[in-house]
Amino acid sequence: MTVETATLPDFAVNVTGEPAPQGSKRHVGNGRMIEANPKLPDWRTAVALQVRSAMKATPAFEGYGEHVPVRVVLTFRLRRPTSLPKITRRHARKPDLDKLIRATMDALTICGLLWDDGQVYRIEAVKTYVGPGEDTGCSIFTWQSSR
C-alpha cells in the first residue's frame, strides 16, 4: 500500500446542515418503499445544492466524468448530546458512519460531482462533535487520481 502525497484537493466544499444517515427502506403498501429516515431528503438536498454552487464557483470544474478514479475525504460535524462530557470530541454513537457516507455519496452523484460513487477508489471519513457556535454539516474534499 502506498501513501499518497499531500496535495491541495481538486474540489472542496463545506456543507452546512444536519447530516442524516441513509438507513433502511420501509414498505408502505402497494409495492412502494420509502426511506425510513425522514431527515434524509433534507440532507441530500443541502449537499446537492451547496456542492453545485461550489462547482460553479470553481473555474473549469464540471465534476468527475465516467471512469475517473476519485479519492474522497469527509468530515461530519454532528451536534453533541447534552448527556456527553464537553471534553469528548470523537463521535462514537449513532448515526453510523457508513450510513452517513452512503447518504452523502449518493448526494454527490445526484448533483453531478461524481458520475457514479463506484469510481471512488479511496474514502476517508470521520465524525466529530461541533463546539458552541459551530455549524453542523460536512466538509468534503476530493482528488482525481493521477494514475
pLDDT tens per residue, the chain (147 residues)?
A: 444 556 889 999 999 999 988 876 666 677 776 666 777 899 999 999 999 999 998 887 888 988 899 999 999 999 887 777 666 666 567 788 999 999 999 999 999 999 998 999 999 999 998 888 899 999 999 999 866
Give the pLDDT score at 80: 82
Q: Cβ contacts of residue 89 below 8 Å, gap of 6+?
A: 128, 129
State in Å, rounded, how far the first CA of the chain is from the last one: 14
Q: From CA 110, how far away is CA 82, in angstroms rounded? A: 34
Give the pLDDT score at 1: 42
Q: From CA 87, how far away is CA 101, in angstroms rounded? A: 25
Give the pLDDT score at 26: 64
Give the pLDDT score at 17: 95
Predicted model pTM: 0.83
Give the pLDDT score at 2: 46
Question: Do residues 137 and 16 touch, judged by C-beta distance below 8 A?
Answer: yes
Query: What are the chain's domains?
Result: 11-144 (3.30.1330.70)
Closest CA to 11 of 70, 98, 97: 70
CA distances for 131 relative to 15, 87, 128, angstroms: 17, 10, 9
Give the pLDDT score at 38: 74
